[in-house]
């Protein structure tokens, strides 16, 4: 396929109706020279090897951005088969198709591949150790990508929110409209990531025609708790809601969550120079 030509770059985006997929649709308007194919799960079932192989052989994509994922963290505990089917086996099929057709894969992963026991931000060199089914399924997907492909970018991110889909910001705004008081855990630390910022970083990777393949961490700047995040949401919205900090054990969930989800982002900043926005600035923009 030779040199990747700006004019004719063809990019397929799976999971097009999810948060990141929708934000990529917004960002795509700024790249008129590229040809984007947005595929929702109804239009492309990534768990079907036949569908993937047929589409990739016919269309010849330069890049595949895999935004499709099984993200119901608690449900995954009792629905392991589907979590692994979407987050691992389907990623294997995509990787194999990318290898055959010389397509560069950009695969989105998660902070949940770590157990959260570290007291400093996680680097790309830290050894994953997931503590729930969702994290284990995402790690298996990463391993397939790394074992099958040479031309790939895996971007791990954390606490993703946007104007679209289901996320913490929208849940808080809904609950805030119904209640005067909420309790939110204050001992899980991480960085919220605005999907619009992540979409821009992905397009920066593509437009720079980089060949620095491998694993990267990306989130917005700063580290806060879910309690801090909730308070900031209501503050920006001007909603007078009483938010009470509680420990994780006071709010048990089927899936265990990492206590520390902070990601070290030096590598992506160095290779794709772009000012990483502070979480509060991006939250203002989204709300």
Catalytic residue among 134, 152, 164, 216: 134
Instruction: Identify whether 164 is a catalytic site residue.
Output: no
How many CB atoms within 10 Å of residue 117?
10
Q: Which two tokens stand for residue 49?
A: 């090897």
The CA distance from 61 to 76, in Å, is 31
Which element (helix H / strand E) includes 26? helix 19-28
Closest CA to 20 of 158, 112, 132, 124: 158
The CA distance from 45 to 279, in Å, is 33
Do the strands 104-110 and 63-66 form a parallel or antiparallel pair, or are they unpaired? Answer: parallel
Closest CA to 70 of 274, 273, 255, 259: 255
> So which residues are the catalytic ones?
134
């Amino acid at each position: 396929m030779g040199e990747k030509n700006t004019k004719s770059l063809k990019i397929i985006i799976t999971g097009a109706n999810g948060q990141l997929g929708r934000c990529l649709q917004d960002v795509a308007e700024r790249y008129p020279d590229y040809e984007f194919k947005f595929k929702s799960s109804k239009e492309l079932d990534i768990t079907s090897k036949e569908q993937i192989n047929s589409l990739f052989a016919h269309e010849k994509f330069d890049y595949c951005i895999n935004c499709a994922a099984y993200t119901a963290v608690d449900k995954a505990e009792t629905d392991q088969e589907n979590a692994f089917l979407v987050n691992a086996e389907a990623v294997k099929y995509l990787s194999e198709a990318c290898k055959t057709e010389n397509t560069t894969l950009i695969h989105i992963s998660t902070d949940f591949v770590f157990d959260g026991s570290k007291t400093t931000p996680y680097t790309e060199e830290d050894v994953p150790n997931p503590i729930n089914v969702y994290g284990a399924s995402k790690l298996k997907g990463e391993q397939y990508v790394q074992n099958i492909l040479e031309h790939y970018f895996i971007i791990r991110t954390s606490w993703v929110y946007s104007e679209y889909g289901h996320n913490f910001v929208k849940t808080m705004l809904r609950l805030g409209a119904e209640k005067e008081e909420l309790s939110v855990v204050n001992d899980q630390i991480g960085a919220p990531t605005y999907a619009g910022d992540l979409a821009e970083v992905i397009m920066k990777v593509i437009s720079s025609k980089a060949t620095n393949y491998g694993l990267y961490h990306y989130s917005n700047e700063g580290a806060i708790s879910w309690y801090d995040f909730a308070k900031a949401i209501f503050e920006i919205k001007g909603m007078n809601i009483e938010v009470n900090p509680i420990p994780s054990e006071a709010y048990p969930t089927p899936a265990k969550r990492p206590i520390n989800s902070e990601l070290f982002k030096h590598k992506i900043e160095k290779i794709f120079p772009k000012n990483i926005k502070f979480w509060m600035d991006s939250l203002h923009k989204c709300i």
